Amino acid sequence: MNPLSSTIAAVSTPRGRGGIAVIRISGTDAVSVAGRMFVPAGKTDVSGLPERYAAFGDILDPDGIPCDTGICTVFRAPKSFTGENMVEISCHGGISVTETVLLSAIAHGAVMADAGEFTKRAFLNGKLSLTEAEAVGGLIDADTTEKMKLSGGAVRGNVSREIKRLSDSLLDVMTALYAAIDYPEEDVGDEGERHIGEVLRTVSGGVKRLLATYKTGRAVQSGVKCVICGRPNVGKSSLFNRMVGEESAIVTDVAGTTRDVLRETVSFGGVTLRLSDTAGIHTSGDAVEQIGIGRAVDEIEGAELILAVWNASEPLTGHDIELIGRLKDASAPVITVLNKTDLARGLSGEDEAQIASVSGDMIRVSCETEEGIAELASAVAKLFGSDKLDLRHDAVIWDVRQRTQLMRADAALDSAVAGLTYGDPLDAVCTTVEEAMAALSETDGRGVNEEIVNEIFARFCVGK
């Protein structure tokens, strides 16, 4: 681990060939390190460059010999990403030239940055809160628009602002409680206690609301393991393809064509589904298909969402009834999908009632005409709450660490509210409010210990 006093350097663009690459240098000596390896065209040297001015010039290798031309931008503390002096050097993005420029920064006085060290320094210097810093990691990793909206919202402070708002209210309560404890002769009175109770309940409601967003946040960020199941030929692969939006599963009218489990991650109904299309669930003599069916049953057991597909144009078969039996024991929510509604109806009213006994969520679709696919997306959105949240603007959490701290705050607030209601001594109530405050502070980093900070930033890659 580098001490904060060191000047660090790393390549901040991905490794590989590219038009340009950016080498970042941060720390007290950033400008002098850059001054030894970059010669701006014209008369000034790097130390004479105005702040945030892109200067063209020669980049020198570790031996001081020009190896490339590029752009140098100087950021002076505290007006930089890390809050320290920073220099960004853009060179041509060849693998060798990028490495040479980085080695030149090291040869001229910088040390190699650790994973996540730029963002960690930004946090330690108060440029970002912990939830914002964690969201930077999420934004860099975002591979769907929904994930980008979620992390982008948190980078812009959606979660931090909400936690600050709740902490500020709690601080008012603590001030009132301290005054009441220190000056018992100035009785807070019923009115005062009622007010404290009201504020505590409001903060508790806010914490509960934030906690409730976890289900959606996690469904967007980590994704939901979703399995499509049903007997052969009901249209599972066709549904998979409709959801994925491309022909990635093989669709044929020969029963049992999907022999293995196909996987794809899609953004559907505003959440991230880690989809698997399983082999038709039924008893089969074909050994290869049998292995596929074994996997399909495993998939159902490990799923967080099950899309059970039925052919609406045929009466229920024995295999369908077998599946209904299995699904009744499933722990994950099930959405039943009646497919092939473009064809004449084959299911009897009784058949439909049997299917409906698996789950109240029944959607009629046609993978042929695409009818009903939007309704299916809405049913998924409703199940994971993405229909009620605006990922770009609402405070939404997805991180298990944040959730753990908020749960701690929630429990403390519940017990503070109960204590106040049952007339516990005010100093006991105050202790639980302090516990809630500590938990909120840790959620957003103001009270986080060094070990946790190091662990969080180690998850980043070098150059971030």
In DSSP terms, 91 is beta-bridged to 21
- CA distance to 208, 403, 447, per residue, from 408 (Å): 11, 9, 14
Quick one: which segment of 70-78, 103-111, 249-257, 295-303 binds ligand GDP (CB under 6 A)? 249-257
What residues from 271 to 330 belong to the interface with ligand GDP (CB under 6 A)?
280
* Closer residue to ligand GDP (CB): 130 or 243: 243
User: CB 225 → ligand GDP: shortest distance, Å?
Assistant: 19
Q: Which residues between 330 and 369 bind ligand GDP (CB under 6 A)?
A: 339-340, 342-343, 366-368
Residue 37 CB coordination number (10 Å): 29
Q: How far is the CB of 253 from ligand GDP (least distance, A)?
A: 4
Closer residue to ligand GDP in complex, CB, 251/448:
251
Q: Rule CB under 6 A: is residue 107 a binding residue for ligand GDP?
A: no
Sign of CA dihedral 363, 366, 372, 377: positive
Interaxial angle between packed helices 426-444 and 189-212, expressed in degrees from 0 to 180 and rounded to the nearest 10? 30
CA atoms of 81 and 363, how far apart (whole Å): 49
Shorter beta-carbon distance to ligand GDP: residue 137 or 230: 230
Distance (Å, whole) CA 332 – CA 320: 19
* Least CB distance to ligand GDP at residue 154 (A): 39
Q: What is the 3-state secondary structure (H, E, C) of 227-266?
A: EEECCCCCCHHHHHHHHHCCCCCCCCCCCCCCCCCEEEEE
Q: Which lies closer to ligand GDP via its Cβ, residue 316 or residue 416?
A: 316
Return the number of the residue (138 or 232) whose C-beta is nearest ligand GDP: 232
CB of 388 to ligand GDP, least distance (A): 30
CB of 318 to ligand GDP, least distance (A): 16
- Please identify, using beta-carbon distances, which residue of 36 and 319 lies nearer to ligand GDP: 319
Look at the chain and count its residues.
Answer: 464
Residue 400 φ then ψ, to 5°: -65, -35
Task: List binders of ligand GDP among 186-245 (CB under 6 A).
Answer: 230, 232-238
Binding to ligand GDP by residue 374, rule CB under 6 A?
no
The contact mask relative to ligand GDP for 110-139 (x = CB under 6 A, - = no) is ------------------------------
Q: Is the Cβ of residue 46 or residue 303 nearer to ligand GDP in the bound state?
A: 303
Q: Which residues contact 223 (CB under 8 A, 6 or more apart)?
A: 265, 271, 272, 273, 274
312 phi and psi angles, rounded to 5 deg: -75, -10
Asked if 27 is part of the footprint of ligand GDP (rule: CB under 6 A), the reply reads no
Q: Which two tokens stand for residue 324?
A: 């209904």
Binding site for ligand GDP (CB under 6 A): 230, 232-238, 251-253, 257-258, 280, 339-340, 342-343, 366-368
